[in-house]
């Protein structure tokens, strides 16, 4: 395939051109063989566009897995004594996604040109967030890059595991809802019109439920040309709004206020923050800096405000436990664990331990909720289908009874 590259020649001049190669790694090797130092290598626009159309959603879902695999592979190589540049080159050759191969190529090129690994990751902040950059920087400054990469890989895998648990618990109920909607659309579009023709030929009075369904079916079939764009536009607009900061904040605050789901959302966010804070403290990041990073990665405005208040309290000389004890967003179990960790000087280790417990409880809760919700959806589907069927056959039964009575 044809790839576009940016590189420096032997005179230090920046060169931009195209090259034909099977993979990004192969193209980088060819450039170095010709005396060029590659800065970035990526598929040409047409190929990149086709690839992005096919797999943009898949790449978004796989970002956490890619980051985890990157950290784990790099940790193994660095732990074996491989220099960082050579280790990045080995990781680059293992990439099967052209986009990620280009990212690793750019990171390796920057490190090869004298940048630090954390500095190179800053140029790809959409994949490697500030927490990742801070942990790598701490590992580089302390000479403990491998342990930091191990912690980062473990933390990323746990986030991926939690996300998969959420998606798994929503999969079956979502399928049931989709099937229910498909059945309703099929009945309204194809089945009810046939019954409407039958009822017109009988010229018999219809029950209110049957009249309601017939009117609804007629309305849908008459104005489908306006309803379909309206529904699609609403869904697309809602999805776009949900990705905006205001939308994320509104949805996050609403989720915390829902009676049952609110507690689940609190436990999920608390587990993520507690694990992140514990990992940062175990990585020798100062408490104030760790709280700052947790605030940026909180993902919820109310939790970010809580962490900001805790950071201000710690700055004024108060304890972290006292700051979190005032909020209902943090469960008493977590607060007591924090208190024990602060008194014994093992706050980071205690937080990681309590995060493991919270994650296990959250996975069990999600599975239980999925098991409870499924029967309710089935009952609802049966009720709707039964209501439609009864409304359709009730006039026929009335007509049969009337005919028998007349006879």
Q: Greater confidence, 114 or 34?
A: 114
Kindly tell me the burial class for residue 337, based on how many C-beta atoms sit within 10 Å of its own C-beta (0-12, 13-18, 19 or more): buried
pLDDT at position 401 is: 65
Burial 219-237 (b: 16+ CB within 10 A, else e): eeeeeeeeeeeeeeeeeee
Contact status, residue 210 vs residue 391, Cβ threshold 8 Å: yes
Q: How far apart are CA 137 and CA 117, in angstroms?
A: 8
pLDDT at 13 over 60: yes
pLDDT at 47 over 50: no
Axis crossing angle, helix 192-202 with helix 208-222, rounded to the nearest 10: 120
The C-alpha angle 100, 60, 68, rounded to 5 degrees, equals: 60
Backbone angles phi and psi of 226, in degrees to 5: -95, -35
3-state class (DSSP) for residue 283? coil
Lowest mean pLDDT among 27-36, 176-185, 322-331, 338-347: 27-36
Which residues, 6 or more positions from 248, have their beta carbon under 8 angstroms from its beta carbon? 242, 299
What's the rounded mean pLDDT across residues 302-327? 87
3-state class (DSSP) for residue 379? helix
Contact status, residue 117 vs residue 136, Cβ threshold 8 Å: yes
Q: What residue ranges define each of the domains in the chain, with the CATH number in brackets?
A: 2-128 (1.20.81), 170-407 (1.20.81.30)
Q: How far apart are CA 295 and CA 307, in angstroms?
A: 6
Axis crossing angle, helix 130-142 with helix 145-186, rounded to the nearest 10: 160
The C-alpha angle 35, 37, 42, rounded to 5 degrees, equals: 120
DSSP code per residue over 296-348: HH--SHHHHHHHHHHHHHHHTT--HHHHHHT-SSS-HHHHHHHHHHHHHT-HH
Query: Which of 95-104, 295-304, 349-358 has the largest mean confidence?
Result: 349-358
The C-alpha angle 54, 59, 62, rounded to 5 degrees, equals: 140
Kindly tell me the burial class for residue 12, based on how many C-beta atoms sit within 10 Å of its own C-beta (0-12, 13-18, 19 or more): exposed
Q: How far apart are CA 359 and CA 78, in angstroms?
A: 30
pLDDT at 404 over 80: no
Paired with 37 in beta bridges are: 8
DSSP code per residue over 51-69: HHHHHHHHHHHHHHHHHHH
Kindly tell me the burial class for residue 121, based on how many C-beta atoms sit within 10 Å of its own C-beta (0-12, 13-18, 19 or more): buried
Contact status, residue 138 vs residue 160, Cβ threshold 8 Å: no
pTM: predicted TM-score of the whole model, two decimal places:
0.70
Express the helix, strand and coil content of the chain in percent, nearest 5 each.
Answer: 80, 5, 15
Averaged confidence pLDDT in the chain: 80
The per-residue pLDDT for range 49-70, each reduced to its tens digit, is 444 434 444 444 567 888 888 8
pLDDT at 46 over 50: no
- The count of C-alpha atoms lying within 13 angstroms of the C-alpha of 305, restricted to the half-sphere facing its C-beta, is 8
Lowest mean pLDDT among 191-195, 223-227, 359-363: 191-195
Q: How far apart are CA 120 and CA 129, in angstroms?
A: 12
The per-residue pLDDT for range 161-171, each reduced to its tens digit, is 888 888 877 78
Q: Maximum Cα–Cα distance for the chain, whole Å?
A: 107
Q: What is the band of 44 on the pLDDT scale with cuts at 50, 70, 90?
A: low
pLDDT at position 272 is: 87
Kindly tell me the burial class for residue 110, based on how many C-beta atoms sit within 10 Å of its own C-beta (0-12, 13-18, 19 or more): buried
Cα 158 versus chain centre, distance = 13
In this structure, is the dihedral angle defined by the CA atoms of residues 191, 192, 196 and 199, taken in order, positive or negative?
Answer: positive
pLDDT at position 59 is: 47
Can you point out the beta strands (E) in 137-237? Answer: none
pLDDT at position 1 is: 62
Q: How far apart are CA 252 and CA 191, in angstroms?
A: 41
Alpha-carbon distance values, 364 to 97, 199, 371 (Å): 34, 52, 11
Q: Greater confidence, 100 or 5?
A: 100
The per-residue pLDDT for range 194-236, each reduced to its tens digit, is 877 777 777 667 788 888 888 888 888 888 888 889 989 998 9
Burial 58-77 (b: 16+ CB within 10 A, else e): ebeeebbebbbbbbbbbbbb
């Amino acid at each position: 395939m044809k790839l576009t590259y940016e590189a420096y020649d032997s005179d230090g001049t920046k060169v931009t051109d195209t090259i034909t190669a099977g993979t990004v790694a192969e193209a980088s090797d060819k450039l170095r063989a010709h005396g060029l130092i590659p800065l970035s290598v990526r598929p040409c626009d047409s190929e990149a566009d086709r690839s992005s159309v096919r797999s943009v959603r898949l790449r978004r879902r796989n970002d956490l897995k890619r980051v985890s695999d990157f950290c784990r592979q790099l940790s193994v190589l660095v732990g074996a004594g491989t220099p960082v540049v050579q280790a990045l080159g080995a990781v680059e050759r293992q990439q099967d996604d052209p986009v990620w191969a280009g990212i690793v190529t750019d990171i390796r090129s920057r490190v090869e040109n004298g940048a630090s690994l954390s500095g190179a990751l800053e140029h790809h902040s959409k994949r490697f967030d500030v927490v990742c950059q801070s942990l790598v920087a701490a590992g580089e400054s302390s000479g403990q890059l491998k342990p930091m990469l191990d912690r980062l890989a473990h933390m990323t895998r746990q986030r991926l595991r939690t996300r998969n648990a959420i998606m798994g618990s929503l999969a079956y109920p979502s399928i049931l809802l989709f099937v229910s909607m498909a059945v309703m659309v099929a009945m309204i579009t194809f089945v009810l019109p046939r019954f409407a023709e039958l009822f017109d030929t009988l010229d018999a009075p219809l029950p209110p439920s049957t009249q309601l369904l017939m009117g609804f079916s007629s309305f849908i079939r008459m104005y489908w040309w306006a309803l379909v764009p309206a529904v699609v536009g609403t869904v697309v607009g809602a999805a776009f709004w949900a990705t905006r900061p205001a939308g994320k904040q509104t949805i996050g605050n609403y989720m915390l206020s829902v009676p049952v789901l609110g507690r689940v959302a609190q436990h999920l966010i608390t587990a993520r923050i507690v694990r992140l804070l514990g990992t940062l403290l175990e990585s020798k990041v100062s408490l104030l800096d760790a709280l700052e990073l947790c605030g940026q990665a909180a993902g919820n405005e109310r939790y970010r405000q809580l962490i900001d208040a805790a950071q201000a309290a710690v700055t004024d000389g108060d304890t972290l436990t006292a700051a979190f004890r005032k909020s209902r967003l943090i469960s008493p179990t977590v607060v007591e664990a924090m208190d024990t960790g602060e008194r014994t000087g093992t706050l980071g280790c205690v937080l990681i331990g309590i995060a493991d417990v919270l994650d296990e409880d959250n996975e069990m809760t999600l599975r239980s909720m999925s098991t409870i919700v499924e029967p309710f959806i089935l009952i609802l589907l049966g009720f709707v289908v039964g209501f439609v069927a009864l409304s359709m056959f009730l006039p026929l039964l009335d007509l049969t009874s009337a005919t028998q009575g007349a006879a």
